[in-house]
A and B are shown apart, each in its own frame.
Chain A
Amino acid sequence: MKRSHLLLSTLALIALLVIPGQLKSHGIYLFTYWLIYVIACMGLNLTVGYAGQKSLGHAAFLGLGAYCMALMLKAGLSFWLGLPAAALLCFALGWLLGFPALRVQTIYLAFATLGFNTAIWLFMRNEEWLTGGTFGINNIARPSLMGLSLQNNLKYYYLVLFMAALLSLALWGLLRSPWGRAFTALRDNPIRAESLGIDIQGYTLLAFAIGAAYAGVAGALMASLVQFIDPAPFTVEASIMMYLMVVVGGPGYFLGPILGAAVGVILPEWLRFAQAWYLLIFGAAVVMLMIWLPEGLLSLPSVLAKKRHSKEASRLRQEAAKLIQPGEPA
């Protein structure tokens, strides 16, 4: 990590620690909501951005995590048991969802995951005995830690912030490790990766499973934040939106999900009164972005640098051409 990066992350962390303390309760709620989506999108960024698997079913895992937590709390189990349980459940199901990816790629895979999302959503909506159907589950409790209640919005925010920081450090570590390198190799050229002895089947499944586990944790945190869940936030549209968040931020950029989730969650929640207008502009902006910056917002610096380089190179070429022009007096 460069020194400037370290400085920036420290500054961002201080801002995230201080700012919500100054906000009203809805502001704190929005920040918490955003961080939850950041966690979920970090997982999706691993699956989509680093490992290159087109997954359009991520909201299903968010929902599975949320329902897992809600049902465990209703059964009288602890929040601190629900969190790893949600992660494990999603890890296992994400692993299973990886299997179609071994057979089909790109757009076929996108539709397989999209269909998986539909199936999970139908299950949440139809199996009323378990999930409460469209009425959902309400009065979900917030946790307490060593006798200290996290009922308060700000305290819960700090818990979510802590989890987000922890999980992003874990992802950072994973991406630096040989495992992380294997994921990007899988994305860039699966056949070559295989010929280099990378177990591409194992890594494909793992990319799905870890990504899903992140969404599971995010969902579990979401259940306790909103204190009410129904199937509505876990539709196929939500998955597509999460995919857009990753793509808009910059797939394969570590900080992409932070930016993407801000555009995809904070702005629409904040501009709720003008939601249709916001979505109209958002949709059009996505089209523009693909035309001008297909690698996402965070690719802007490198695109600018590339432009500067090519300009510089063409200037040098021109000067060189002048120097060797024939017939000119030296």
Chain B
Amino acid sequence: MTDFLQLFFSGLATGSIYALAALGFTLLWQASGTINFAQGEFVMLPAFMMLIMMGQGLSLPMSFAVGLVLSVFVQGWAFKRGLVDPLFKFGMMPIVVATIGLSIAMKNAVRVFYSAEPKPFPNVFPDTLFHFGELTLSATDLGTFTMAIVLVLATQTFLSRSVTGRAMQAVAQNSESASVLGIDVHRMIFYTFAINALLACAAALLVTPTYLAKFDMGASLGNKAFFAAIIGGFNNSRGALLGGLLVGVSENLAAAYISPAYKDAVALLVFMVVILFKPQGLLGQKAERKV
């Protein structure tokens, strides 16, 4: 039983990171119909931005702060203006293909201009271990989980409580009626991109100490985030949290009790079961088919 709980809690920590990446993913989808295949690379790039700044002598918190600003500029504003806006009129698939191209370009840009070798990244949390009865939890796992959950809940509270957040939701639901009501649709969509960039930068801070900073570190993270988002329900931002935690925990349990070699297939398996019985995801709403 202790083993089980141990695995369960460390799975929650991993899952909360998936949830963070998955939340940004669903937000982009709701606001602008953008499926971002470069989501994993959006976590990778801030990690390297922070590494470069720490190489220049900045402290970790300072580099994180600058990283947030840069991330919003590059992965929020430039991404929206340069790629999504011109492609919006062509529908979903061209944006998907373009973000695939973007992810290849980002990975290899880091490989060309920085390094192809994995780099260590300082941990924000101390190395201490906490004991709860027979259960041992590391400060990293606890801190990661707490910080990720706080970010996800804060984003959701912002979306559901603040005026701006509600305007953003109105745009996601129906951009035409939102603009009739006097909401600046373009600005709201930009805010969504900015939130995605901020969440990605935070995920980079939490995940890079364990994953190491490497140009292809985003690939598996991006994949898990997609699966988590779809499992939870693509058109529901609470789904991302549920999906992320579900994937993280079941992966950890399967690796221990079934086979570590097939760990990466777990997200797929859960995904298959979910789309078989509830294609719209666990918390999602059904979409109508149109001629």
Contact = CB atoms under 8 A, between A and B. Distances in A.
Contacts of B154: none
Nearest to B116: A276
B209 to A, nearest CB: 25
A284 B107 CA distance: 11
Nearest to B98: A290
A237 B279 CA distance: 25
A111 B226 contact: yes
User: Nearest 8 CB-CB pairs, A to B?
Assistant: A286-B101, A283-B105, A283-B104, A115-B268, A280-B108, A290-B98, A279-B108, A126-B261
Interface of B, secondary structure class, is: helix
A244 interface: yes
B102 interface: yes
B96 interface: yes
A291 interface: yes
A106 B265 CA distance: 21
B272 A290 contact: no
A283 B290 CA distance: 33
Interface residues of B, number: 45
Contact of B291 (A119, A191, A294): A191
A281 B226 CA distance: 26
B227 A115 contact: yes
Interface in A104-158: 104, 106-108, 110-112, 114-116, 118-119, 122, 125-126
B105 A280 contact: yes
Contacts of A247: 97
Contacts of A272: none
B261 A106 contact: no
Centre residue among B92, B100, B219, B261 by max chain A CB count within 10 A: B100
A290 B97 contact: yes
Nearest to B82: A287
Interface stretch (B3-11, B83-91, B139-147, B165-173): B83-91
B20 interface: no
Contacts of B96: 107, 110
A87 B272 CA distance: 26
A290 B82 CA distance: 12
A5 B229 CA distance: 47
A24 interface: no
Contacts of B180: none
A288 to B, nearest CB: 8
Question: A interface, how many residues as a size bin?
Answer: 35 or more
B187 interface: no
Nearest to A293: B94
Contact of B86 (A125, A286, A291): A291
Nearest to A190: B289
A43 B95 CA distance: 23
Interface of B: 35, 83, 86-87, 90, 92-98, 100-109, 111-112, 116, 219, 223, 226-227, 230, 259, 261-262, 264-265, 267-268, 271-272, 275-276, 279, 289-291
A58 interface: no
A240 interface: yes
Given A100-B272, A114-B223, A122-B262, 5 more contacts: A115-B271, A118-B223, A277-B108, A279-B105, A286-B98
A89 B86 CA distance: 43
Contact of B112 (A108, A276, A289): A276
A282 B275 contact: no
Contacts of A243: 97, 100
A133 to B, nearest CB: 10
Given A103-B276, A106-B93, A111 B227 contact: yes
Given A189-B291, A276-B116, A283 B103 contact: yes
A286 B98 CA distance: 6
A232 interface: no
Contact of B108 (A103, A108, A115, A276): A276
Given A115-B227, A119-B265, A290 B275 contact: no
Nearest to A278: B108
Contacts of B271: 111-112, 115
Given A122-B264, A280-B108, A107 B92 contact: yes
A290 B279 contact: no
Contacts of A107: 35, 92, 96
B226 A290 contact: no
Interface in A268-320: 276-277, 279-287, 289-291, 294
B105 A287 contact: yes
B77 to A, nearest CB: 16
Given A126-B262, A283-B101, A284-B101, A104 B116 contact: no
Contact of B275 (A103, A286, A287, A289): A103
